[in-house]
Structure 1
């Protein structure tokens, strides 16, 4: 065997060994629990509660959505005045040091990371879905303007006929099932942000509001200090985050 062939075989063996070692390496998942709790992070309660002047906030870690951290917030207004709830003002501070919780010094925390603003997420999804629906109907934005500007039945009928023919032509040349799948995904995402997320709301006395709050995830953080301003009050919740083996 030539030295070149011998070297090539050894190189391939090293590559295969590296892949094998990588596949056999440990895998981790992130476990989040309130810092004041002890015990099994899987079975422990994930809920924290705080109350100020009759305004109650209950925060629960729910799950990770891809890489984002999802919390469920329940806010009850037991005061005599309305309070504004706006998740766009929620944020958390991160620290890689667990010891950051035992000191008043906030230097170990990174700059605040804001929660996703549901209103900012809803608008582009709605726009995208509207544009896609218009494209499916085979009518461009210019054609819509022309149709709206036409005041006679004859002109409107003619434009509808042209739109119908355009639709038929596109149905023949475009894979409709693929477009429908994309539209369905956008519609589901829009429904999620509109209906399941905590939205901006002026909470009246005696009312309760509940919904999800989503933060960008950082798997290197050991401490998540979540700040939730509600009306004139600021609530703080501390969670620990750990890497655990599967």
Structure 2
């Protein structure tokens, strides 16, 4: 059943929380995040900032500002002679707002926790897509008993048709629930595959190897004007600076004091 719906249902945003964020809480502006002036270079169509410490090289570029997430594309190259640990859950950024010298620190989303939660959600939806609830079993048994006792009860044709119509509606409702669970399972499975393929995962990076992936931050700091993204790798912290601007849908810049970070 699940495979039958795979081509008919695709979610662009993934988790239900993301969809709710867009429909119920979407702001009337968007954010433009780019590397600070003079610190950027272009690589494969992406504007990135680079940092290097002890022969470990990091490239950071803005991958997406859509929905509730601020995503950065990260490349880590280990040119040293020792393995280094890359742990995305330790990454963070400091957000600076005009007139406030004290930054707000935001920690990256833990990719393993996100993947494990989605795995559990997908497994539950797949079970529900094929499960037969107790209420459905009781409904079928009740209808069977009524069929067997219909003569004794002198059930009229009209009464029998009404009873069978009620039974058909109940069965259709249970089938609809299974169908919805199947569609949700397909969407969750697709999103799970996407996260597994795109997110930067915790990895011990051996000498001479390169690691690519995305890191995600919750968008709590839209009102900030400067972001300093910090990547702890191999006991050192590499950083990249970015500017952030809020723009109205007509392209005009939103004044700094017009709204607060979410």
- Band the TM-score falls in, shorter-chain normalisation: 0.5 to 0.7
Alignment of 1:76-91 (within 5 A): 76-91=77-92
Instruction: Provide the aligned C-alpha RMSD in A.
Output: 2.4
Q: Distance in 2 between matches of 1:88 and 1:117?
A: 5
- Cα deviation for residue 36 of structure 1 reads 2.6
Number of residue pairs the alignment of both structures matches: 179
TM, length-normalised to structure 2: 0.62
Find the counterpart in structure 1 of residue 222 from structure 2: 219
Q: Is the CA contact 1:61–1:70 (under 8 Å) kept in the aligned structure 2? A: yes
TM, length-normalised to structure 1: 0.66
- Cα deviation for residue 89 of structure 1 reads 0.2
- Cα deviation for residue 52 of structure 1 reads 1.1
1:243 aligns with one of 246, 254, 261:
246
Find the counterpart in structure 1 of residue 123 from structure 2: 130
Compared with structure 1, are the counterparts of its residues 121 and 239 closer, same or farther at alpha carbon in structure 2 (3 Å cutoff)?
same
Compared with structure 1, are the counterparts of its residues 134 and 28 closer, same or farther at alpha carbon in structure 2 (3 Å cutoff)?
closer
- Cα deviation for residue 138 of structure 1 reads 2.0
- Matched residue SS, 1:120: helix
1:188 aligns with one of 190, 209, 221:
190
Q: Distance in 2 between matches of 1:236 and 1:74?
A: 13
- Cα deviation for residue 30 of structure 1 reads 1.3
Unaligned runs of 5+ in 2: 1-27, 40-44, 134-169, 252-262
Unaligned runs of 5+ in 1: 1-26, 39-43, 101-106, 141-168
Deviates more, 1:123-132 or 1:73-82: 123-132
